[in-house]
Amino acid sequence: MSINAIFVDSSAPSGCMFVNFRSLTVDDVTAAIRLLPDKQYTSDSIPTRLLKDCADVIAPFLVELYNKSLQSGSVPALFKAAYITPLLKKSDLDSADVHSYRPISNLTVLSKLLECLVTRTVCHPASQTLGTFRRRLKTHLFAVSFT
Residue 139 maps to a domain: yes
Structural domain count, the chain: 1
The reported pTM is 0.66
Each residue's pLDDT tens digit, 70-108: 888 888 888 888 888 899 999 999 999 999 999 988 888
Residue 106 maps to a domain: yes
Query: What is the domain extent for residue 90?
Result: 20-144
DSSP bridge pairs for 82: 107
Each residue's pLDDT tens digit, 101-143: 999 888 888 888 998 898 887 765 544 334 344 455 555 444 4
The candidate with the shortest Cα–Cα distance to 123, out of 106, 140, 99, is 140
CB atoms closer than 10 angstroms to residue 79: 21
Residue 72 maps to a domain: yes
Residue 7 maps to a domain: no
Residue 14 maps to a domain: no
Each residue's pLDDT tens digit, 1-39: 444 444 444 455 565 555 566 789 999 999 999 998 887
